[in-house]
Structure 1
Amino acid sequence: MSIEISKTHALIADALDYRAARQDMIASNIANADTPYYKPRDIHFQEALITKRNALYSDNDAQLELAQTDPKHLTPKSASSATKATLYFRDGHMARNDGNSVDIDVETTEMSKNSIMFNALIMANKKDGAIFKSVIDASAKVN
């Protein structure tokens, strides 16, 4: 049995895991910059985090149902359909003569953006923990 600190803590932990996996994938792309026929890979996890956030913070009583006024309308997707991060090959870059399409400028830019987001998540996690620490400190002073 584990104690849940906050819903935000679990969401930040998942986001940190995804950011770490993306950092490894970008590093792998840079390491394979000279490998013939290598296609750069990336990880897409925003939908998985949005789905988890909606599941954590959903208030089922206040949720509006989508009305289907015509039987030809598409049915809405369930919330559990996008719960995993998806791996894909990053496309759109010109392949060199050896078939490799890794662009070092793009990879280093993506690595920098990912690193900034990782550090922002670390700071958010510290801030989330500081809120509980301040409550514990304040309750100790009451006695």
Structure 2
Amino acid sequence: MALSISRTHGLISDALDYRAARQDMIASNIANADTPFYRPRDISFEDALAKKAADLQKNDKTTLALAQTNNQHLKPQAQKADYRPTTFFRDGHMARNDGNSVDLDVETTEMSKNSTMFNALIQANKKSGGIYKSVIDASQKVN
């Protein structure tokens, strides 16, 4: 069994991965600002992270186990949840004469928001690690 800091510690690394993927996608949109008929893409992962967080936080003692009346019956299997982000085309902006609908103002704003959230996740990860480091340091001073 692996040592786990908390149930939700893995969510931070998942969120960092998704934020990095979104940063790459926004950079790709900016790079294709002059490509004819290019439609900007985006990635939505907030729902996937919320679903995973809810599954991690639920209390397993409240779920009812399936009774097996005969040993030859099939064993119940847990359903795997789908935590994958979804990609979509970000529409709603007027396409130019060449069919391209990339709006540089929107893309740079989204990149700035994504970068801010990425930095906030990094700080949360550092703070989480700092709490456990201070506990370990304090326990060494007790002896």
TM-score range with shorter-chain normalisation? 0.7 to 0.9
Query: SS of the residue aligned with 2:93?
Result: coil
1:114 matched residue in structure 2: 114
Q: What residue in structure 2 maps to residue 70 of structure 1?
A: none
Structure whose alpha-carbon radius of gyration is higher: 2
Give the root-mean-square deviation of aligned CA atoms.
1.6
Q: Percent identity?
A: 70
Q: Provide the rounded CA distance (Å) in 2 between the counterparts of 1:91 and 1:62.
A: 43
Look up the match of 1:68.
none
Q: Return the alpha-carbon distance in structure 2 between the equivalents of residues 2 and 42 of structure 1.
A: 35
Is residue 2:82 matched to residue 1:100? no
1:31 paired residue number = 31
Give structure 2 stretches of 5+ with no counterpart: 64-78
The code of the aligned residue for 2:87 comes to L
Give the secondary-structure state (helix, strand or coil) at the position aligned to 2:3.
Answer: coil
Structure 1 distance, partners of 2:80, 2:54, is 8
Per-residue displacement from partner, 1:53-76 (whole Å, max 9, x unpaired)? 01111113357xxxxxxxxxxxxx
Letter of the 1:13 counterpart: S
CA distance in 2, matches of 1:125, 1:8: 11
The CA distance in 1 between the partners of 2:92 and 2:56, in whole Å, is 36
* 2:18 corresponding residue in structure 1: 18
**Any idea what the Cα deviations from partners look like across 1:23-42, whole Å, max 9, x if unmatched?**
00000000000000000000
Per-residue displacement from partner, 1:98-120 (whole Å, max 9, x unpaired)?
Answer: 00000000000000000000000
For 1:2 and 1:34, how far apart are their aligned partners in 2? 49
Name the structure 2 match of 1:57: 57
What is residue 69 of structure 1 aligned with on the other side? Answer: none
Q: Contact 1:55 / 1:79 at 8 angstroms: preserved in 2? A: no
Return the offset for 1:83.
Answer: 1.4
Runs (4+) of structure 1 exceeding 6 A deviation are: none
Amino acid at match of 1:58: K
Tell me the secondary structure at the aligned position of residue 87 of structure 1. Answer: strand
2: CA distance, partners of 1:30 / 1:59: 44
CA distance, structure 2, for counterparts of residue 59 and residue 2 of structure 1? 20
Shift of 1:79: 8.4
Question: Could you list the runs of 5+ residues in structure 1 that have no partner in the other structure?
Answer: 64-77
